Structure 1
Amino acid sequence: MAKHLRLNFIDGQWIPAESGQLRENINPADFADVIGEFAESGGVDVDHAVEAASAALPAWRGLGPVKRAAYLAGASRLLGERAEEVAAVITREQGKLLSEARGEVSRARAVVDFTAGQARLLGGVTAPAEEERTFAYTFRKPIGVVGLVAPWNFPLAIPLWKVAPALLSGCTAVLKPSPLTPLTSALLVEIFQQAGVPDGVLNLVQGDVAAGEALVANAEVAGISFTGSLPVGTAIHAGGAHRLLRTQLELGGKNALIVCDDADLGKAVDAVVHGAFGQAGQRCSATSRAVVDVRVRDEFLERLVERVADLRVGPGDDPASRICPVVNTARMDAALAAIAGAQRDGGKVLCGGGREEREDLAEGCYVRPTVIRDVPWDSELAQEEVFGPVLAVVDAEGFDEAMSIANSVKYGMSGTIFTASQSRAFEAIDRFEAGMLHVNRPGVGAYAHLPHVGSKASQYGPPECSPQVWDFYTEWRSACISY
């Protein structure tokens, strides 16, 4: 790894944090693998990055969206050329399977390509004037400097689906990634640098809470786009409220997959295995609850447990692995605590239930994929996000009760139903209190050109990965010209 990738990137230069402090980045699959020591930044570093972004703003804004899109296209091409390198880094520092990392690179490129294609659509409308010899129209202007605060679970895709629209809109940006996945974001920024993006347009500040708080507090920052936990998102929104800071918040999820009595159980089991245990359950759209009609529950569980018990836990770079490690010991401890809490609440562990006990995995963050039945609908496991490979199975007496249970949580990221009834499927889509809806397919995310959006406590502000994202990065103007 090139040494410069451990630094901040400000105004076109790779520089250390002012404090000189560093943070270790460790492979969650192998504690002995120290990837590197990365800059641990504070307020001074953030302020320098914001100053650089502010200085670069007028020229970048004046370039126009079509020319800005050319930089995105160049970055997408370079990312394609370095796809295997980037995927390997994602697996090493985040832990996910190499196949999942490759999928993330592909998804990230699709989002950038979709965003670049919006360049010729990023306009306003003409409107009738009430006076003679008058021309009336609307147009968009970028809001200015934006802070992009990204999580560790998709360390390439989520930063990119913030960076791409920010830059196309004419904003300049300061990216603050998770301290758990700093190298992936450094590679991302290096790719944009190689694509020729002017100095100061995209800046990188590595670090944790201090850097994030400084971004929110800096008066030159016009907006914060954040993906992460509900408590942190709420703190960002509250912290900037006094100055009317614009926020875009994509938060947690506690997603339900409903299995009706007429469901294709084989397909439902496939979807649950993919949705609950892919990426070790570390997705905001992960299937964390299976709400199952009691008339098919036993057969469903028999099939599901047989599948889950055969999932091999191991390092992401091992082709035989089917379940990757969780990202760090804190997430591992949280998953194990959730399992223990569910057992105290009356849940019965059908498979998994603890750390993976293989001796060769002792020095990693490995949790066995866990299925727990008889989970009360209002218990902690059925209500609160785990972000690990833990599935709660909740009984339902028919469709109406299943819908009620699915909507009983404070979150509303994803909702899924398996049924052979067309009318029931459409009714579920209408009744789900969630942003991304699925019928007879896995309930994780959506296509690159569909809004990544939640409802209730899962989302605040315009959705990402969609034309609606411009309502965050730009603001409207209207003009009337008499002649």
Structure 2
Amino acid sequence: MTQSQHLRRNFIDGQWDPAESGLTRENTNPADVSDRIGEFAESGGVDVDRAVDAATAALPGWRGLGPVRRAEFLARAGTLLTERAEEFAAVITREQGKLLAEARGEVARARAVLDFTAGQARLLGGVTAPAEDERTFAYTFRRPIGVVGLVSPWNFPLAIPMWKAAPALLSGCTAVLKPSPLTPLTAALLVEVFQQAGVPDGVLNLVQGDVAAGEALVANPAVAGISFTGSLAVGTAIQTVGADRLLRTQLELGGKNAVVVCDDADLDRAVDAVVHGAFGQAGQRCSATSRAVVDVRVREEFLERLVPRVAGLRVGPGDDPASQVCPVVNTVRRDAALSAIAGAQRDGGKVLCGGGPEERADLPQGCYVQPTVIRDVPWNSELAQEEVFGPVLAVVHADGFDDAIRIANSVKYGMSATVFTASQSRAFEAVERFEAGMLHVNRPGVGAYAHLPHTGAKASQYGPPECSPQVWDFYTAWHSACIAY
């Protein structure tokens, strides 16, 4: 069995096995759809139940090791990840589509998350407390919640599974990872790294597949918690299905993020940030800049600087050093982006650049969308309110600071928000008034440090954050003890 063959299978209780049904799903390169990466397991309830049973059996031994011992496995996994960094980056680019530089950045982010998590091992404790009775010792401690299901998306196929798996394992939970069917190989490589690091059989299991596998994982009564990153619709469904048994959930959902450009902003810095936030990774980030809310007093000057920059971006395969914007992940996302552009035009928006598929003669047949800027987008129109997840920027005008904050907060989501201003007072006021989880001033509105909460507000987030000490409030439960002596 070659490496590529075993990585196309599920990993359950230390073994790489095909789906019980024998069904598979084809995975192709979005930059060149003729490039077939392979056929990966298409799993169902039987496979999920096997994985959950394996995780349940492994739980007592793994929990008994304690966090310091468990951190040793994470440290070894970090070393292996660094040694295989270029392999990971190449696979991410091939199956997800992002630029190789972006893929390398994702590998570095995954390593940072792993290092941070391992470093929490000696901090994962409780406190002693005064007792009200004589000769009594009172204290608190954390205990892992049990078996957890980790459901990850395709846009960060390494970093997001890592920031779920690493804290799950350090906390003493055992886990079943169900990645997106669009990026199965990256997830398999990640699980292989933990296997090579010596993580015991059954502690981290991998089940490939789509809806059937995800539904079975959520429905299994032995699963104590689900950490999910994806759409609002699916997150709501998970919450609804799990409500009857009080399933613990951590849901990171959509975003419709705004960069507010005030009339005193440094326009060059603002343009740099908007180009990076809107068109990096072809706009396929939960924190992507999808709206530029620009004060009417500087709108024309802002557009004069922005549009030539965007129009000059070169779209192409992620492994081409000349490419500046990668393809979107598949034809579904391409068509959704093109449909959103057409809808914006019907609502009165004017396309200033882009607006269609990228179809140059030198491009292979892939899922390419031109970086698109649309002006005069009504603040309450579909493009200004709903997530696109593609390289499409809506420019909405605002009449002053208060109006800009109102528009930024007008959506149901609240993942990230950014303001560009020279006024310290406005900067702090914006941070106070933005209805979002991750806030930025005079810098790009994407990304956060590994030790800060990756979180949203409103419909963008339910449950504890990820990527921070606050993540333990999902993977562990608090207990208190009073001991008389």
Fold-level similarity (TM above 0.5): yes
Of residues 236, 239, 243, the one that matches 2:241 is 239
What is aligned with 2:138?
136
Deviation of 1:212 after TM superposition, in Å, equals: 0.3
Tell me, in whole angstroms, the C-alpha distance in 1 between the residues paired with 2:42 and 2:359.
Answer: 34
What is aligned with 1:254?
256
Deviation of 1:127 after TM superposition, in Å, equals: 0.5
Deviation of 1:27 after TM superposition, in Å, equals: 0.1
* Secondary structure of residue in 2 paired with 1:325: coil
Of residues 7, 24, 27, the one that matches 1:25 is 27
Q: Is the 8 A contact 2:31 2:364 kept in 1?
A: no
Of residues 90, 94, 115, the one that matches 1:92 is 94
Q: Is the 8 A contact 2:139 2:482 kept in 1?
A: yes
TM-score (norm 1): 1.00
* Secondary structure of residue in 2 paired with 1:2: helix
Deviation of 1:362 after TM superposition, in Å, equals: 5.2
Q: Is the 8 A contact 1:178 1:208 kept in 2?
A: yes
Of residues 144, 159, 162, the one that matches 1:160 is 162
Deviation of 1:129 after TM superposition, in Å, equals: 0.6
What is aligned with 1:218?
220
The superposition leaves residues 88-116 of structure 1 with CA deviations (integer Å, 9 ceiling, x where unpaired) of 00000000000000000000000010000
What is aligned with 1:380?
382
Of residues 382, 393, 396, the one that matches 2:395 is 393
What is aligned with 1:171?
173
Deviation of 1:359 after TM superposition, in Å, equals: 1.9
What is aligned with 1:104?
106
What is aligned with 2:457?
455
What is aligned with 1:198?
200
- AA paired with 1:40? E
Tell me, in whole angstroms, the C-alpha distance in 2 between the residues paired with 1:359 and 1:31.
Answer: 16
TM-score (norm 2): 0.99
What is aligned with 1:425?
427
Deviation of 1:368 after TM superposition, in Å, equals: 0.4
- AA paired with 2:312? D
Deviation of 1:126 after TM superposition, in Å, equals: 0.4
* Secondary structure of residue in 2 paired with 1:233: helix
The superposition leaves residues 32-66 of structure 1 with CA deviations (integer Å, 9 ceiling, x where unpaired) of 10000000000000000000000000000000000
- AA paired with 2:269? K
Q: Is the 8 A contact 1:259 1:293 kept in 2?
A: yes
Q: Is the 8 A contact 1:293 1:402 kept in 2?
A: yes
What is aligned with 1:64?
66
Of residues 128, 147, 150, the one that matches 2:149 is 147
What is aligned with 1:356?
358
What is aligned with 2:271?
269
1:73 aligned to 2:75? yes
Deviation of 1:361 after TM superposition, in Å, equals: 2.4
Unmatched tracts of structure 2, length 5 or more? none
- AA paired with 2:450? A
* Secondary structure of residue in 1 paired with 2:32: coil
Deviation of 1:186 after TM superposition, in Å, equals: 0.2
Matches of residues 108-119 of structure 1 in structure 2 within 5 Å?
108-119=110-121
Matches of residues 440-451 of structure 1 in structure 2 within 5 Å?
440-451=442-453
Deviation of 1:30 after TM superposition, in Å, equals: 0.2
Q: Is the 8 A contact 2:218 2:226 kept in 1?
A: yes
Deviation of 1:357 after TM superposition, in Å, equals: 2.0
Deviation of 1:2 after TM superposition, in Å, equals: 2.2
* Secondary structure of residue in 1 paired with 2:245: coil
Deviation of 1:206 after TM superposition, in Å, equals: 0.1
Tell me, in whole angstroms, the C-alpha distance in 2 between the residues paired with 1:334 and 1:238.
Answer: 27
* Secondary structure of residue in 2 paired with 1:434: coil
Of residues 319, 344, 363, the one that matches 2:321 is 319
Tell me, in whole angstroms, the C-alpha distance in 1 between the residues paired with 2:483 and 2:244.
Answer: 36
- AA paired with 2:473? D
- AA paired with 1:417? V
What is aligned with 1:121?
123
Tell me, in whole angstroms, the C-alpha distance in 1 between the residues paired with 2:370 and 2:384.
Answer: 19
The superposition leaves residues 135-172 of structure 1 with CA deviations (integer Å, 9 ceiling, x where unpaired) of 00000000000000000000000000000000000000
Provide the aligned length of Structure 1 versus Structure 2. Answer: 483
Unmatched tracts of structure 1, length 5 or more? none
Tell me, in whole angstroms, the C-alpha distance in 2 between the residues paired with 1:350 and 1:357.
Answer: 18
Q: Is the 8 A contact 2:150 2:161 kept in 1?
A: yes
Q: Is the 8 A contact 1:414 1:445 kept in 2?
A: no
The superposition leaves residues 206-250 of structure 1 with CA deviations (integer Å, 9 ceiling, x where unpaired) of 000000000010000000000000000000110111110000000
Task: Name segments (4+ residues, structure 1) moved above 6 Å.
Answer: none
* Secondary structure of residue in 2 paired with 1:175: strand
- AA paired with 1:305? V
- AA paired with 1:160? M
What is aligned with 2:291?
289
